[in-house]
Structure 1
Amino acid sequence: MSARRALLASLLVPLAACGGGSPTGPGPSPSPGTQSVTVVVFYDENGNGTLDPAEGARVPDVEVSLGGRSARSAVGTGRAVIDGVAAGSVIPTINTATLPPFYTVGRMPTVQVPTTGEVAIPLVLPIGSNRPNTYMAFGDSITEGNNYPGDPSYRGPLASKLQQHFARATVLNEGVGSTKSNQGALRIDGPLNADRPAYTLILYGTNDWGQSECKRPDQLATTCFTIASLRDIILSAKGSSSLPVLATIPAVNVGYDFRAPQQREDWVEAVNVQVRDLAREQGALLADVEKAMLADRDPSRLFVDHIHPNAEGEEIISTAFFQAIAHGARTGAAFTGEVMDLDAPMARPVPQVLSRPSLRSRRR
């Protein structure tokens, strides 16, 4: 080696030792002792803290943290990959603001990092011995369906949305055509006892306007039975440990015929102010169906007649229910009360109803 080359080599050695080199080279290596941990956020139906083979429901969009690192669970699978978790023993934590309404954290496991398997993160619901992942749609002909050929009502698209989001969902039909809310209050206990639903979806009141007691907005404070009946239905659901989801009364196809005058829509608007208040009062989720329908560029296109929605209208109704169930207060559209312990004993106030005619005398 020439003297000149030897001198150049001796100058380069200290530069390399001080970290010199190409700026496009590989970045720093991961910190030793860290790894990626996969978690699965699931609905723990029996509350034992273990992901059992039959427990197929998953809870998406929940933020899970391990050792100061966090990630959100995915739709359908409930999986989240948390990178850069330091080695050691750690208990996962949940950002409770990201939980869907009514869900709480179950028996959290202790995780030993590094780990080779997925970590199951349990969430629970206060539904007592009711049937998990079961939603009872309770209402009149809008719930029942069959208002046009092949009509699944809003239940069809809602079931699809819930299944895609939570991986498990069954929506039951407890709609009875032509019934009014006070008739719903009289019959609610039968379906609750037979179906034992985790959730009760309440869409009632459309037919109330046809009664003399409920023709005008000012009657809401005197003779009209709508709010008292809806309150009674909610109390029955809560008394059966079923989670209540209350919908506003759908909008009316104003001007379609003599059955849909502007006065009817005015009544719907007035009663829905009280429906929203009732949801807050009772800690129920609110599916604001009326608001969603009126937000359409042309609400008249959402109907097959004066009150019954077509497929587009049912899609809007199903979305309102889905948003309430899956996101609640995070969308600003639904859950506004405290999450209640529905298994605790509760006093049931006397409904404020002036009179409650029998089913036979009220049927048209």
Structure 2
Amino acid sequence: MLPGVPAQADPLRLLAFGDSLTAGYNLPQDAAFPVQLEAALRDRGHDVTVLNAGVSGDTTAGGRSRLDWVLAETPDAVIVALGANDGLRGLDLAQTRENLTAIVRRFKSQEVQVLVAGMLAPPNLGREYGEAFNAVFPEVAERTGVLFYPFFLEGVAADPALNQADGMHPTAEGVAVMVENILPSVEELLRKADPCGCSSD
């Protein structure tokens, strides 16, 4: 390297840690949420690599069990988007809360900045379970002191034009809406991970 030329900072490493909604279920690889999010962030001047750590069918317990593997990717920041499958299966919400709390605290212990992406319960689970489920995500974010985005599928859920035939998984166009809506929260996350702004143009 030439004397006097500053070293180029490495791109920030942002982990998208979730289930099929993150993995890009039934979509072309370039249409998955992490790929579309990285493109949108780069368009806005952020030098960032978004890593796809989505596993279709994963629950909060499954995510918790693979923390060592995802931390080996040495992320600077993470979007935790787990819990939808806990709700679909009607799992014990005390366990969901415990798992999410443990996941967030583990990332924080490694100095990884965290954004919790909330989910809302489908209406067929009943009002009581639904209200309890919906409360888990803001509670975990508040208790652990991390950023919170209320609903990962904001603007997409229940819109047939933006979902695949199963009514649960977004189309490529649906993912684009998800990315557009979550972008301000992700930019706030990146500012916390990179307070000097070294990764922005």
- Same structural fold, with TM-score higher than 0.5 when normalized by the shorter chain: yes
Match of 1:325 in 2: 186
Q: Which has the higher contact order (CA 8 A, sep 6+)?
A: 2
Kindly indicate whether residue 180 of structure 2 is the aligned counterpart of residue 301 of structure 1.
Answer: no
What's the CA shift for 1:186? 1.4
Higher fraction of helix: 2
Aligned to 2:173: 312
CA distance in 2, matches of 1:289, 1:238: 22
Aligned mate of 1:139, from 18, 22, 34: 18
**TM-align CA RMSD:** 3.0
- Cα distance in 1 for partners of 2:124, 2:25 equals 27
Paired position in structure 2 for 1:225: 95
Q: 1:54-203 alignment to 2 at 5 Å?
A: 54-55=8-9, 132-150=11-29, 152-192=31-71, 194-203=72-81
Identical-residue share of aligned pairs (%): 26
Counterpart selection for 1:242 from 104, 107, 112 = 112
In structure 2, the CA distance between the partners of 1:169 and 1:290, relative to structure 1 (3 Å rule), is: closer
Question: What does residue range 26-41 of structure 1 map to in structure 2 within 5 Å?
Answer: none
C-alpha offsets along residues 137-175 of structure 1, whole Å, 9 cap, x if unaligned?
111111111423456321122111211223311001111
Is 1:206 aligned to residue 79 of structure 2? no
- Are residues 170 and 150 of structure 1, via their aligned partners in 2, closer, same or farther at CA, if it must alter by over 3 Å? closer
Unaligned runs of 5+ in 1: 1-49, 56-130, 215-219, 253-261, 329-338, 341-364
Which amino acid is 2:15 matched to?
M
- TM-score with structure 1 setting the length: 0.45
CA shift digits 1:18-48 (9 cap, x unpaired): xxxxxxxxxxxxxxxxxxxxxxxxxxxxxxx
Which structure shows the bigger proportion of residues in strand conformation?
A: 1
Q: Distance in 2 between matches of 1:225 and 1:150?
A: 32
Contact 1:251 1:293 in 2 (8 A): no
Question: Could you tell me how far apart the structure 1 residues matched to 2:43 and 2:120 are?
Answer: 25
Q: CA deviation at 1:240?
A: 1.1
Q: Deviations over 1:210-265 (max 9, x none)?
A: 44534xxxxx3xxx42111111110111111111111012675xxxxxxxxx3248
How high is the TM-score relative to the length of structure 2?
A: 0.78
Q: Structure 1 residues 212, 287: CA separation in 2 closer, same or farther (over 3 Å shift)?
A: closer
Q: Quick one: distance in 2 between partners of 1:232 and 1:132?
A: 27
What number of residue pairs does the alignment pair up?
A: 187
Report the counterpart of residue 6 of structure 1 in structure 2. none
Greater Rg, structure 1 or structure 2? 1
User: Match of 2:199?
Assistant: none
Task: Note closer, same or farther for the CA distance 1:155–1:309 as it changes in structure 2 (3 Å cut).
Answer: same
Q: Mind listing any 5+ residue stretches in structure 2 that lack a counterpart?
A: 194-201
Alignment match, 2:148: 286
